[in-house]
Amino acid sequence: MNTYQERQFDALGDVTRRALVERLRRGPLPVGELAQGLPVSRPAVSQHLRILKEAKLVRDEASGTRRYYSLDPNGFAMLRKYLDNFWGEALEAFQAKVEEK
């Protein structure tokens, strides 16, 4: 793994940050709604979001007076790379079988 991925995994090694990512799976949210029901203060939530943002797992965007957080698709790069490689090899094995006489 490279350091970029290391940082992503470190960012997710915290129960609050995992909860934030899980909430964002359903769509973008402003920080106030993200913080609702979590047993940590809103400044703490902002701090967690900053760490997630630095790890490129979460990104933010201003919309009017509010700032919306959403999952950063780049955070899934490792899963994607793994599957890309896997399917490349699997399809070659499939081709060999199909063309077997």
Partner 1 sequence: MPERQLNPQNTMTMDVETHEIEPVRKSIRVRADAARAFRIFTEEMDSWWPRTHHIGNSPMKRVVVEGRPMGAIYTEQEDGTNCPWGSVLTWEPPHLFVMAWQIRPDWQYEPDLSKCSEVEVRFTPADDGTTLVELEHRGLTRHGVGCAKMREQVNSEGGWGALLGIFAGKVGGAA
Q: Where on the chain is the footprint of partner 1 (CB under 8 A)?
A: 1-2, 5, 8-9, 12-13, 18, 21-22, 25-27, 71, 73, 75-76, 78-99
- Measured from the CB atom, is 12 or 38 closer to partner 1? 12
- Measured from the CB atom, is 8 or 31 closer to partner 1? 8
Radius of gyration of the chain (CA): 19
CB of 71 to partner 1, least distance (A): 6
Nearest-5° angle of CA 74, CA 23, CA 60?
50
State the amino acid at position 29 in one-letter form. L
Q: What are phi and psi of 61, to 5 degrees?
A: -150, 135
